[in-house]
Structure 1
Amino acid sequence: MAAQSTKISFDSIKNDIINRRFKPIYLFMGDESYFIDELTELLSENVLSESEKDFNMLTFYGVDSDVNEIIASARRFPMMADYQLIIVKEAQNLDKFEVLDVYAKNPMLSTILVLSYKHGTVDKRKAVVKKIEKIGVVFESKKLYDNQMPGFITSYLKTKDIGIDIKSAQMLADFVGNDIGKLIPQLQKLEVSLPDDVAKRRITAEMIERNVGISKDYNNFELIKAVAKKDILTAAKIVDYFSRNSKENPIMATVAVLFNYFSNLLECFWLPRKDENSVMSALNIRSSFFVKDYMDGIRNYNANKVMEIISELRTVDAGSKGIDNISATHGELLKVLIYKIMH
């Protein structure tokens, strides 16, 4: 589900846990809390039965806990169970975290120690990390890139037997950016609105418009299509809608989507071949559905114009944050931006 740059992937750890192939120590760390929480919860659900949890499951919080107390607890034997489970939440706030290397040298095989370390990482050169890697699991949970979000949405829904078309997945991705914490509640909201019949459990653009509040016709996905085609009338309608509904369509999100598109488009101009397959390969695009906007962009823009657009996007981004902008509203900034892009 997640594209991580580590030897051990989220999916492989998940599979091992479900199949009860446990390790004595897990260190989950990184900037993306979602994957850390998912794996921690999975261990909580699979290591012990409900009746075993009363005597064999302990939860510590880093800010309130002493590392020596955690080690002492980890050295105890389980009671009428194969394992005891110790979860340390907010481990990034644990004083003297590196002292855990004393335990990692000789861990109890009947104890499963889970360290949930969020909003950062432990230096992988430290002895404690190297020792955990030898006998356990060290997993770095990284933020997904924006272009990975549609795939994540599709995979997440597939695990729940819910389908979604490419356009709808992109609409949601554009709406939340790469913030999975913001995405999941929206997906849950959509899931509740689906019928019980599995064959009909499919999310559409109309459902997103009804339940999430993103217009199926006036959104960043449709704006990119219009800009790529140089469809001035459609782009103007979308920008006007954004201006009248700025709370649901913040300019920062639109600028980010446009910046990502034109940065990728600029890369296309340096390709020896500019056919669909070459563009898909260079930009790591999996579906031909998304390459159409870049093929339109290659036809309607040139490299110099795209560089000017990227510069203008940076200026508007600064202006939307109040830099060198005395009185223009976000709606006015966006209208001027789109005009400059398309003329």
Structure 2
Amino acid sequence: MAKKEQNVHLQIISDIRKKNFKPVYFLMGDEPYYIDLITDTIIDNALDDADRDFNQTIVYGADVEISTVINAAKRYPMMASRQLVIVKEAQMLKGLDDLQFYLQKPLTSTVLVFNYKNGSLKNKKLLAELNSVGIVYESKKLYDYQLPPFINSYVTEKGFTIEQKAIAMLGDAIGNDLSRLTGELDKLSIILQGNTRITAALIEHNIGISKDFNNFELLNAFITKNIYKVNQIIAYFEKNPKSNPLIVTISVLFNFYANLMLLYFIQDKSESNIMAELKLRNIFQARDYLAAMQNYNAYKCMDIISYIREYDARSKGVENASGTTEASLLKELAYKILH
């Protein structure tokens, strides 16, 4: 069965760094970040620099036949303990089913890696055979709620800390494009120059995301029913539509109010239990929900969820024949939420 559990890539990477290699790695899925991360780790650890010229082969699925890949995998290494064969864009490789003949007796001195992106292999028999002799890893896109832990973990591994607001800003602006997200975090870690904390101000100055006019601040304005601030941020969004798409704002609002709705049905509304129920990372998020419960009762919360769904559909053209702009839709939605 394909390995897709959260953080299972860490065990794979750990084994690779210990030089515990499998003869075949089949890395597939919709999230390229983990596929590339595991592949790069294999490249860094499988061979010494002096052995790469003769023992490292990288090919692309659209340019080779499966027979060429198999023949390369059957070669013995030259003056080294192993050789490395990598097939990038393996989803373009024709005749992949023929790999089963090689899998019956794979060469233990070869590390064969397939990068199969933008989808997953459907041949269950081949997947079972791959899994029996090697590693099959399925890389899934992260959900929105998984982004804050990912950002926090990545920054911690780099030896830094990051403000909660800064996490929200990055998540809202970049979303679950992990390659771009980690690239921006890497740039920020260089810019820090002796400091150890990534702040909202640092992100605003270096990435161009406003620390005052973003979905994080908009949500806070809704939570506290700050009508002036809500309208101020919406006006900013209207002037910068490409940086603030409505679909992202609607997603942020829906996730919050859907979670808020759940809290009306739990007995223990302590900060610690709210954190546990909603899998929150810190106590300040729990306090946001408690503040919202003071301003919105359960009936209003149900209405808000209904409004968000309605305007999500309208933003996609459903019952929006007049072609109302995204800014106008958000203004209408905000009025219904706040009144």
Contact 1:104 1:128 in 2 (8 A): no
Work out the number of aligned pairs and report it: 336
For the residues of structure 2 that align with 1:220 and 1:272, how far apart are their CA atoms? Answer: 30
Percent of pairs identical after alignment? 43
Contact 1:224 1:293 in 2 (8 A): no
Residues 1:159 and 2:154 are matched in the alignment: no
Contact 1:157 1:163 in 2 (8 A): yes
For the residues of structure 2 that align with 1:230 and 1:104, how far apart are their CA atoms? Answer: 62
For the residues of structure 2 that align with 1:341 and 1:181, how far apart are their CA atoms? Answer: 35
> Counterpart of 1:64 in 2: which secondary structure?
coil
> How far 1:70 moved relative to its partner?
1.0
Alignment-derived partner of residue 288 in structure 2 = 293
Residues 1:244 and 2:239 are matched in the alignment: yes
> Counterpart of 2:57 in 1: which secondary structure?
strand
* 4+ long deviations beyond 6 Å: none
Question: Which stretches in structure 2 are left out of the alignment for 5+ residues?
Answer: none
RMSD in angstroms over aligned alpha carbons?
1.9
Q: Judging changes above 3 Å, is the alpha-carbon distance between structure 1 residues 10 and 162 closer, same or farther for their aligned structure 2 residues?
A: same
Contact 1:66 1:94 in 2 (8 A): yes
Question: Which stretches in structure 1 are left out of the alignment for 5+ residues?
Answer: none
Alignment-derived partner of residue 336 in structure 1 = 332
> Counterpart of 1:267 in 2: which secondary structure?
helix
Alignment-derived partner of residue 221 in structure 1 = 216
Match of 1:142 among 140, 143, 146: 140
> How far 1:85 moved relative to its partner?
0.2
Residues 1:14 and 2:13 are matched in the alignment: yes
Partner letter of residue 338 of structure 1? A
> How far 1:38 moved relative to its partner?
0.7
Alignment-derived partner of residue 309 in structure 1 = 304
Partner letter of residue 253 of structure 2? L
Contact 1:312 1:337 in 2 (8 A): yes
Partner letter of residue 80 of structure 2? A
Alignment-derived partner of residue 175 in structure 2 = 177
For the residues of structure 2 that align with 1:91 and 1:202, how far apart are their CA atoms? Answer: 40
Provide Cα deviations, 1:11-70, integer angstroms capped at 9, x if missing partner: 111111112111111111111000001111111111111221111111121122211221
> Counterpart of 2:108 in 1: which secondary structure?
coil
For the residues of structure 2 that align with 1:159 and 1:169, how far apart are their CA atoms? Answer: 15
Alignment-derived partner of residue 271 in structure 1 = 266
Partner letter of residue 172 of structure 2? D
Contact 2:149 2:281 in 1 (8 A): no
Contact 1:89 1:116 in 2 (8 A): yes
